[in-house]
């Protein structure tokens, strides 16, 4: 897909990975719709940055936990741009054990409402508009928490409900790929420890000791956390360069889920 001239919706665009992808799409010539809700200072700064690019963008404050607000968002997109070609379904809320401690009912509900429920309502509102465009792709963001769970070096960062929710996301990806075909490709980008997502720039990361942070890095085969550029390149690959890929999960975790075990040298043998 050629990005220039296309219309893209980026959820959770007020800061972090969502904003980084939105800026990259705008620089590539896309019309971008950006959602925000909380983080008022970051949202104001985001809008200033997009304004300075002199690009075609629309920033919309919307509570994605509310289906009626989601429906209103897509009516606005249809009225403003008439179509939707790219969906960056980047909405979630993860409760870090090191931050939140034991679960409360409110924290549990917040994680489920954002990580599963909001994604579902957004995609189902987006699908008719994307199908009508004849050329569209959706990227569903998830976390390796769905594989790892509250376990090992990640156990201070990944909570039980957040992990369970992310395991469910992959079933959505498969369902949506079937529903979207052939006009809409749907793929999942499963992230490991990234700047502003599970690692540096989050409330939980500085609460870990230096030893705990190093354990996470040591468990990652590539020995570092991910950058914005890493995730932008993966997202652009799925948009531009994977026309025969749908219903797939692209795991972008630097090898964390494989763990630190190394392959021993091949022995000489006895024969």
Task: Write out pLDDT tens, residues 88-146.
Answer: 999 988 889 999 998 888 888 989 999 999 999 999 999 999 999 989 999 999 999 99
Using the structure block, give the residue that is written with the tokens 């390149």: 233
The confidence band for 40, taking pLDDT boundaries of 50, 70 and 90, is confident
- List, for residues 45-104, the tens digit of each pLDDT value: 999 999 999 999 999 999 999 999 999 999 999 999 999 999 999 998 888 999 999 888
Residue 221 reports pLDDT greater than 90: yes
| 71 alpha carbon, distance to own chain's centre | 21
Cβ neighbors of 210 (< 8 A, separation 6 or more) are none
Angle at 89 between CA 87 and CA 94, to 5 degrees: 170
Coil, strand or helix: which one is 107?
A: helix
Bridge partners (DSSP) listed for residue 34: 10, 59
Closest to 188 in 3D by CA, of 201, 179, 176, 198: 176
Q: What is the mean pLDDT of residues 7-20?
A: 96
Rounded to the nearest integer, the mean pLDDT of the chain is 95
pLDDT for residue 256: 97
DSSP symbol at 154? G
Contacts 24+ apart (CB under 8 A), 104-109: 107/161, 108/161
Closest to 6 in 3D by CA, of 72, 56, 47, 71: 56
- List, for residues 168-178, the tens digit of each pLDDT value: 999 999 999 99
- List, for residues 190-203, the tens digit of each pLDDT value: 999 999 999 999 99
Cβ neighbors of 207 (< 8 A, separation 6 or more) are 98, 99
Tally of CB atoms within 10 A around 237: 14
Q: What is the mean pLDDT of residues 207-222?
A: 97
CA distance 92 to 17: 12
pLDDT for residue 86: 98
pLDDT for residue 93: 85
- List, for residues 140-167, the tens digit of each pLDDT value: 999 999 999 999 999 999 999 999 999 9
pLDDT for residue 197: 94
Angle at 89 between CA 50 and CA 174, to 5 degrees: 155
* Domains detected in the chain: 7-245 (3.40.50.720)
Tokens of 232: 């932008």
């Amino acid at each position: 897909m050629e990005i220039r001239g296309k219309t893209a919706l980026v959820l959770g665009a007020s800061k972090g990975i969502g904003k980084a992808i939105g800026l990259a799409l705008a620089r590539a010539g896309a019309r971008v719709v950006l959602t925000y809700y909380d983080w008022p200072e970051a949202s104001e700064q985001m809008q200033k940055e997009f304004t300075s690019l002199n690009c075609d963008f629309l920033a919309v404050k919307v509570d994605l936990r509310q289906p009626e607000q989601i429906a209103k968002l897509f009516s606005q997109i249809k009225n403003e741009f008439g179509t939707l070609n790219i969906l960056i379904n980047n909405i979630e809320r993860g409760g870090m054990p090191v931050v939140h401690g034991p679960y409360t009912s409110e924290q549990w509900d917040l994680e489920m409402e954002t990580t599963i429920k909001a994604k579902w309502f957004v995609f189902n509102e987006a699908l008719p508009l994307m199908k009508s465009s004849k050329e569209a792709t959706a990227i569903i963001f998830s976390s390796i928490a769905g594989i790892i769970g509250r376990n090992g070096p990640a156990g201070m960062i990944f909570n039980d409900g957040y992990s369970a929710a992310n395991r469910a996301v992959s079933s959505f990806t498969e369902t949506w790929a079937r529903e979207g075909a052939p006009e809409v490709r749907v793929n999942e980008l499963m992230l490991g420890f990234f700047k502003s997502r599970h690692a540096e720039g989050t409330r939980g990361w500085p609460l870990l000791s230096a030893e705990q942070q190093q354990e996470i890095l040591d468990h990652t085969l590539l020995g570092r956390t991910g950058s914005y550029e890493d995730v932008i390149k993966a997202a652009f690959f799925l948009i531009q360069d994977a026309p025969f890929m749908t219903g797939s999960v692209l795991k972008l975790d630097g090898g964390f889920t494989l763990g630190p075990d190394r392959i021993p040298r091949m022995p000489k043998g006895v024969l």
